[in-house]
Structure formats: structure tokens, C-alpha cells
Amino acid sequence: MARECPFDPPAEVRALREESPVSRVRIWDGSSPWLVTRYDDVRAVLADQRFSSDVDSPGYPATSAGVKARRKESRSFIAMDDPDHARYRKMLIGEFTVRRTESLRPLVEETVTELLDAMETLPQPVDLVEAFALPLPSMVICRMLGVPYSDHGFFQEHSKALLDVTVRADAAKHANDELRGYLAELVAAKEREPGDDLLSRLVERRIHTGELTADDAVGMAFLLLVAGHETTANMIGLGTLTLLRHPDQAAEIRGGDPATVAAAVEELLRLLTVVHTGRRRAATEDVEIGGVLIRAGEGVIAAGESANRDPGQFANPDELDIHRRGNHHVAFGFGVHQCLGQPLARLELQIAYPALLRRFPDLRPAVPVEEIPFRDEMVVYGVHALPVRWDTAV
């Protein structure tokens, strides 16, 4: 479906939400899963474990040939059902508690300052994605995992291939194998010489006790490394562009009031919902959703970007309102598979936006919006690049 405005879901999705909120759609492989577009129905699907996240479940609607090939080769626990999903998730949840994440605040603040200092010295226009949006979450997740940031070019290149829905299956498999091979070597290095990082703790507390295999640990690292930088990087880039189009609200965020900034981040998460390919499931039993019977073996796409624009849940849903109350969006999913790393994403965004806007109060796009390359071909939506300018003090 083509989008008329790069900041909004396609008009066809809006029409389906209004007229046929649970309807069949045809996807790349010729199959016809159900597209669920209303807020209540999306939450119902994501909360119901009769809808499987297992990519091997009959009827599971893969995002693309490349994504299907990659997930066949490298399954992570987010593509599993309980009890396996719960067992793996439990091993990591302590690393992403609000308290543990808050202890990373000094690291994130220091990283933001270093990146903005460097950005200020660059000749304009500056690509905000390359200079700030991408390196910030990449540096933080590398520090958490114990991955050398000096290798960021390697894993960012392969991550991009893995999330591109136009990439052929063989190319996706190659990127998958390269990244897994790299992480397998890193896990082996942590076994020989552990450090103070998440991978070392997995080795010492889980692999050495027999709870986890080295291959399992590689799968966890794979998920955290890719998801840990791609989603937040695109929220920083696309969110900044959105704020620059709403200068009055950007000015409030620049002020840095914690409650205002926190609310603004939730509103940007709701409005932009950067995972635009939906949360994918397959029914394992007959289930009725929104008055429609979905039978066992049929695929379902829960469209979070549509749910977060549902006027039945959000007043004036297509407008940015950083003072919105009761903002119970589903940008991080819902139910048992809700994003594990959401406290970290929130922390990074709550620090990044006001710091960027304070450092460059007259920040502005250097090109018209029509010339900005949006990520329409990617699982995670955003901008490939965002050239920006600001006035330099004389």
C-alpha cells in the first residue's frame, strides 16, 4: 500500500479500519492473512496466546522472502511461544528493568554530549542519522552487550540487509550467517575472558550452568544487537523531523521538563509507530476477533500503526499532541511479547530529543521533505538520511 504522506499510514489502512477492520489482504507470497486495524482488536490478538508467534506455525504470514529465510535460519525467542519464549525472556528481563536501565543514564548522557560535540564541528549540512540518530543507540547497546563499537559498520550493514523487505532470500541468509558467525566468535571470546557486560553474564550464569547453549546466546545477542539500535535510531531521526514540523511543541521539549519530555516521547512513539509491517501471528485455534471468525491455520497481521491512530481510542489521532493523556499506545506491542527493551528506548529518547534541541535551537531540515529518503522498504520505518542545518554563532 502506497502512503500519501510520509508521516501517516496509507489511506487504504485508514479506510479498512473504518469500514472493514478485520479483513483479508494479499501479501508477497500470494497468501491472504487477516489484517486487524482497530486498537481493541489489535490488543486482543496480541494478548491471546491462541495466536502463535512461531514462524513455523501453519499460516504464519512472513514479512518477506528475505525475512522468512532469515528467521528459518536464526530463530530468536520473540519468534517462539510459551513456555520456550517465557524461559528465554526470563533470562534477560533483569537486564532491562527500569532500575537497571536508569543506571545507564550517565552513559547515555555522556554519549549524547560526545556525539553532539562532534556534530557541532562538522561542515553543514550534516546527516543527523549518521552523526547522531544511529550512533547513539548503537554505542549504548554495544556497551551493554560487550560488542566492540569499532565493528559498528559491519553489524549495521548486515542489520540493514536483514530488515530490508526487498532483499532476496539468499542475500538475507548471507547477512544472517555473517552476523551470527561474528557473534559466535564474540561469545567464545567472552567464555575465555569475561567482562562486565550482558554477554559475559549470559556465559557465566546461563551457559556454564547448562541452562543455555552457546548458539542460544548467539540468538539472544543477535536479537538485542539488531533491535537495540534499529528501532531507537529511526525514532530519533523520524521523531526529530516530526518535531521540527511542530516548532511550538519542540520548544516545550527543549525546556527539558521531565514530565513534558516523557509525555512527548510517548506521543511520538504512538504517532510514528516505526514498526510498520505489523505484529505477525498465526491462529492455532478458531478465534473470533471483531466479530470475524479467524480459523486455526490462518495468518494475522496486527497493524499497530493503525491501532495507534484509531479515533475510537485517541482523540484527533493524526495530530501530534505532547500533552495527550491516557496514551496507552501499542508501539512496543502488547501482551507477553511486548518489547523487552522499552525502558532503554524510552531513556535514550527522553535524553536525546531535548539535548539535541537545546544544542541546536534553530535546527532545521536542509532539504524539502520531498527530498528526504524515507525507509518504505524496511521492516523498521524512518529516514535513511536527514540533512540538517543550524545557525553558527559568530
Mean pLDDT for all residues in the chain: 94
150: helix, coil or strand? helix
pLDDT tens digit sequence for 90-114: 999 999 999 999 999 999 999 999 9
pLDDT tens digit sequence for 330-363: 999 999 999 999 999 999 999 999 999 999 999 9
Burial per residue of 283-305, b for 16 or more beta-carbon CB atoms within 10 angstroms, e otherwise: bbeebebbeeebeeebbbbbbbb
Q: How confident is the model at residue 2 (pLDDT cuts 50, 70, 90)?
A: low
Domains of the chain with CATH codes: 11-388 (1.10.630.10)
Reply yes or no on whether the pLDDT at 143 is more than 90.
yes
The percentage of the chain sitting over the pLDDT mark of 90, rounded to a whole number, equals 83
Predicted TM-score (pTM) of this structure: 0.95
Mean pLDDT, residues 369-386 taken together: 95
Provide the Cα torsion 224, 230, 235, 240; round to 10°: 130
Reply yes or no on whether the pLDDT at 393 is more than 70.
no
Residues 6+ apart with CB under 8 A from 10: 1, 2, 3, 4
Q: How confident is the model at residue 83 (pLDDT cuts 50, 70, 90)?
A: very high
Q: What is residue 394's predicted lDDT score, i.e. its pLDDT?
A: 42
Q: What is residue 172's predicted lDDT score, i.e. its pLDDT?
A: 87
How far is Cα 74 from Cα 85, in angstroms, rounded to an integer? 15
How far is Cα 214 from Cα 208, in angstroms, rounded to an integer? 10
Please, is 4 exposed, middle or buried when counting C-beta atoms within 10 Å of its C-beta (0-12, 13-18, 19+)?
Answer: exposed
Residue spans of alpha helices (H) in the chain: 11-19, 39-47, 65-73, 84-93, 98-102, 105-120, 128, 135-145, 152-162, 169-192, 198-202, 214-244, 247-255, 258-272, 304-307, 342-359
Mean pLDDT, residues 68-96 taken together: 87
Give the Å distances, CA to CA, from 310 to 41, 271, 333.
Answer: 11, 11, 15
Peptide bond into 125 cis (omega under 30): yes
pLDDT tens digit sequence for 146-195: 999 999 999 889 888 888 899 888 888 899 999 999 999 999 999 999 99
Grid coordinates standing for 33?
A: 492473512
pLDDT tens digit sequence for 251-299: 999 998 999 999 999 999 999 999 989 999 999 999 999 999 999 999 9
